[in-house]
Chain A
Amino acid sequence: MAEVSRREFLKYIAALGVGLAIGGGIGYSARKPEVKIVKKGAEEVGGKIKEKIKIGHIAIFSGPFSTYGELQKRGSLLAVEEINKAGGIMGSKVEIIYRDSAAKPAEAVKQVRSLVESEGCDFIIGIDSSGVVLAVAEVMPEVNKLLFVTHAATHRLTEELVYKKGIKQVFRIAVPVYQDGIMAAFIASKLPAKRWGCVHPDYEYGYASWELFKKTLAKLRPDVEFVGEAWAKIGTTDFTPLISSIMEKKPDGIHTVEWGFDLFTFVRQAKQTGLFDAVKYDGGYAWINPMGYSIDAMEALKSEYPEGCWVSGRYIWMYPDTPLNKKFVKAHLDRWGHFPAYSGETSYTAVYMIKKLIEMTKTLDIDTHIKTLEDSTVYSPAGVRFIRKKDHQAVYSVPYGQIKHDPSYPIPVLTNLQSVPAEDYYRHPPFKEMPPFRELYKKVLPKA
């Protein structure tokens, strides 16, 4: 990684990382609120480049997880509508084509080929689910188009396929499982709990998150124990046997990456079985649910999600407090009547990145695009994203907060936001070590 860009990146992140309300603004809020890519030596140029710029968006639009396609679509469609209303990309209209992956790797690969070969798409965005993204990434060199991953979180995508295998066509806009495992451990390290248990979905995402959580927390707090694990199949109808098996181990902290439909069932049943009571401490619950602040969960569970639980997302709408984010949240609310989901923000940003990329390079040449994106800085609703050259991961930090029921909002909000500079909780190429990389976290993260 170039030292200059790293320093430049750190400058922003350091300001953004903590207490963003104060620090984040300076320099950043003075800018015009729009998504922007900054790269030395690259400038935006005029002139039409193609009659129509086509973007293929692949997400889950059917079955039990179809909510997740819908949440992404709200973001990307909003961006496309805004761009077209303002004259398109250098005069070219943007067309977005939605395709259903049905959460199946083979189906998503088929859709990629069809979008590129039959529809003539110039870019692909989207992809939920770790298993699907690993399959899709493998075919990107063959179809030779850029893929902006907006949801799937497995670190193997960027660490193995991009960094080790050198698949350069793939960029990930969303924070990977570092948020779910490593950042979660930073939060856990500040809580009084000493006996951690987990209830996780039984697949790649659950295992990866729990591994990273355990490794990081063991480094941060050698005094904690990991007392029990429960693995739930996707679509678990009754969590009570799992909850009771975990409660037999007497945990005082719970790490759970359950999400979507399963999370609702789990939270409801955990309340009835006394799991929340078991992890209560003075300042809330030692309950860490990384994707708990997903908009579907908040809209469905509302006040049923106990106040004081620690949750996060790959973006949360109240952070950062910048004009660009406020503008995005307002536009999303006006257009859809809902607060933006994390995958809505990543999809919105992906579409705007495509716009900026074309305007900066005045070409659809993929090698130029890759070079431009590598080591660039993106100003987006979620804050400043630094696109790391070696693994094509967008590095930005997302805080955790505690659930609070505020009657002036239709969904719960987050208080006591806690954040660590992204550089300190993202794994770094060559991915041999686990965070923390320095002692800084002790200073930046107050006692939670």
Chain B
Amino acid sequence: MDPSAIIFQLILGIASAMLYWIVSSGLTFTFGVTRVLNFAHGAFYMLGAYFTLTIFELTQNYIFSLFFGATLVALIGAACERGLISRIYGLPVPFQLTLTFGLVLVFDDLVRIFWGSVPKMMPPQFVGSINVLGRALPIFSVYLIIAGIAIALIMYFLLSKTDWGMEIRAITVDPETAVCSGLNPTFLYATAFMFGSFFAGLGGGLYVPISSAAPGMGEHVIIYAFIVTVIGGLGSIKGAFISALIIGIIESLGALFVPWMTIALPYIALAAVLILRPEGIFGEK
């Protein structure tokens, strides 16, 4: 096979990987801090898509719609954390799953009531393609790669260079000592949840102009986000980035070489990691 075909396929795989990364970044971050497995993360992603679409219809400004939409999702996330999720901290996992899955159903139905059950589309924002290796690379693949890397850099900066990031890391590593040293856990948990929801909303908003918005759209991506976070190590942001890349690339190369088993590859990777390193690539034992 022409080696340029493989390189091109690799680039597309990285672009797909960035979508997985953007969605799982918030999920793994929220889990790292609050120890809550948030099933509703996919619902926040869906809300991000719908908010972006509707705000775009009103303003015709995509970048503004994207950030304003994600901010609204972050506020909803904070409200959910304060009103509901904060009440189950420390309770067994089934409580978390039941509550956050309940939220998924509620948000799905709310979306159906406000936007209807037929999927909605907004005008595509990144039209056209550039010539790479004699093939058409869609502009939106380029934009996904840029957005994914930008989000990784922003996360890195916020968590390692700001006071808030340091406090978040402190409460993640050792909650008791952190609280004894005067950190405010209520504030930190709420802002962490808000931060995670913001990235879920951003993921939905970034995705909607290359696809569409539909009730329940988050249910597909949440499964992948879980695979990514488990492979990377629950709570590890670096792990999520690397494992998203792994999944995106094996799927993409799989489509070229073994199309009949593409669907199985992420699960094979997941099984391999669970057998060889159950805590995930960057997870803690």
Q: Report A's interface with B, CB cutoff 8 A.
A: 62-67, 69-70, 202, 228-231, 233-235, 237-238, 240-242, 244-245, 247-248, 260-261, 264-265, 268-269, 272-274, 296, 299-301, 304
B107 CB, min distance to chain A CBs, angstroms = 12
Are the C-beta atoms of B216 and A237 separated by less than 8 Å? no
The smallest C-beta distance from A129 to any residue of chain B, in angstroms, reads 15
Complex interface bits, B1-32 against A, C-beta within 8 A gives 1, otherwise 0? 11001001100110110011000000000000
- In the assembled complex, the Cα of A67 lies from the Cα of B139 at a distance in Å of 30
For the complex, what is the distance from the CA of A235 to the CA of B214, rounded to whole Å?
11
- Residues B211 and A66 in contact, CB atoms below 8 Å apart: no
Residues in B whose Cβ lies below 8 Å from that of A245: 9, 252, 255-256, 259
* A265 partner residues in chain B, CB cutoff 8 A: 210-212
CB atoms of A64 and B219 under 8 A apart: yes
B216 touching A66 by the CB < 8 A rule? yes
Q: List 20 A-B contacts (CB under 8 A).
A: A67-B117, A67-B119, A70-B117, A70-B118, A202-B263, A233-B263, A235-B220, A237-B20, A238-B15, A240-B12, A240-B15, A241-B255, A242-B255, A244-B255, A248-B5, A261-B119, A268-B211, A272-B127, A272-B128, A300-B212
Number of A-B contacts (CB under 8 A): 140
CB-based contact B13/A230 at 8 Å: no
A238 to chain B, nearest CB (A): 4
Q: How far is the CB of B128 from chain A (nearest CB, A)?
A: 7
**Is A272 in contact with B118, judged by CB distance below 8 angstroms?**
no
In contact, B112 and A66 (Cβ under 8 angstroms)? yes
For residue B108, which residues in chain A have a CB less than 8 angstroms away from its CB? 62-63, 66
The CA-CA distance from A416 to B16 in the complex, in Å, is: 38
Alpha-carbon separation in the docked complex, A429 to B221 (Å)? 42
Residues on B close to A: CB < 8 A? 1-2, 5, 8-9, 12-13, 15-16, 19-20, 105, 108, 112, 117-121, 124, 127-129, 135-136, 138-141, 144, 207, 210-212, 214-217, 219-221, 223-224, 251-252, 255-256, 259-260, 262-263
Which residues of B have CB within 8 Å of A238? 12, 15-16, 19, 141, 144, 210
Q: Judge whether A237 and B13 touch: CB under 8 Å.
A: no
Evaluate contact between A66 and B117: CB separation under 8 angstroms. Answer: yes
Which among B129, B207, B256 is the interface contact of A248 at CB below 8 angstroms? B256
Could you tell me the distance between the alpha carbons of A240 and B207 in the complex, rounded to whole angstroms?
Answer: 14
Which residues on the A side are within 8 Å of B220 (C-beta)?
64, 234-235, 237
Partner of B121, one of A64, A231, A273, A301: A301
Q: Indicate if the CB atoms of A264 and B212 lie closer than 8 Å.
A: yes
Counting from the closest, the 3 A-B pairs by CB-CB distance are: A235-B220, A241-B252, A265-B211
Query: Which one, A62, A234, A272, contacts B138 given CB within 8 A?
Result: A272
Residues of A with C-beta under 8 A to B5: 248
Given contacts A62-B108, A245-B9, contact A272 B139 (CB under 8 A): yes
Residue from the list A234, A241, A261 in contact with B13, Cβ < 8 A: A241
Inter-chain contacts of B256 with A (CB < 8 A):
241, 244-245, 248
Assembly CA distance A245 to B224 (angstroms): 22
Contacting pair A244 B135 (CB below 8 A): yes
Known contacts: A63-B108, A63-B216, A268-B211. The answer to whether A304 contacts B121 by CB under 8 A is yes
Smallest CB gap from B207: residue in A: A237
Contact A231 B212 (CB under 8 A): no
- In the bound complex, how far is the Cα of B117 from the Cα of A238, in angstroms? 22
Q: Contact: A202 with B262, CB < 8 Å?
A: yes
Q: Establish whether residues A274 and B216, one from each chain, have CB atoms under 8 Å apart when the complex forms.
A: no
Distance from B59 Cβ to chain A, minimum over Cβ atoms (Å): 21
Chain B residues positioned under 8 Å from A273 (CB to CB): 129, 136, 138
Are A300 and B8 closer than 8 Å at their CB atoms?
Answer: no
Q: How far is the CB of A151 from chain B (nearest CB, A)?
A: 15
B136, A65: Cβ atoms closer than 8 Å: no
- CB-nearest residue of chain A relative to B6? A248
Which of A70, A244, A273, A300 has the most chain B CB atoms closer than 10 A to its own CB?
Answer: A244
Minimum Cβ distance to chain A for residue B45 (Å): 11
Chain A hits for B2, CB < 8 A:
248
Name the CB-closest residue of A to B266: A233
A261 & B251 in contact (Cβ 8 Å cutoff): no
Contact B12 A300 (CB under 8 A): no
Q: A233-B263, A240-B16 are in contact. Are A272 and B112 (CB under 8 A)?
A: no
Q: Chain B residues with Cβ under 8 A from A261's Cβ?
A: 119, 211-212, 214, 217
A23 to B237 CA separation, bound complex (whole angstroms): 66
A66 to B224, CA, bound (A): 21
CA distance in complex: A228, B16 (Å): 21
B residues within 8 A CB of A264?
119, 121, 211-212
A3 to B112, CA, bound (A): 50
Tell me the smallest distance from the CB of B256 to a CB of chain A, in Å.
4
Given A64-B215, A238-B16, A244-B135, A272:B140 Cβ within 8 A: yes
Q: A231-B259, A248-B256, A268-B210 are in contact. Are A240 and B138 (CB under 8 A)?
A: yes
The answer to whether B118 touches A67, judged by C-beta atoms less than 8 angstroms apart, is yes
Q: How far, in angstroms, from A67 to B129 measured CA to CA in the complex?
A: 32
**Contacting pair B221 A237 (CB below 8 A):** yes
Residues in B neighbouring A233, C-beta threshold 8 A = 262-263
Q: B218's closest neighbor in chain A, by CB?
A: A64
With a cutoff of 8 Å between Cβ atoms, the chain A residues found around residue B105 in the complex are 62
Could you tell me if B120 and A244 are in contact, using CB atoms closer than 8 angstroms?
A: no
Is A67 touching B214 in the complex (CB atoms < 8 A)? yes
Residue of A with least CB distance to B140? A272
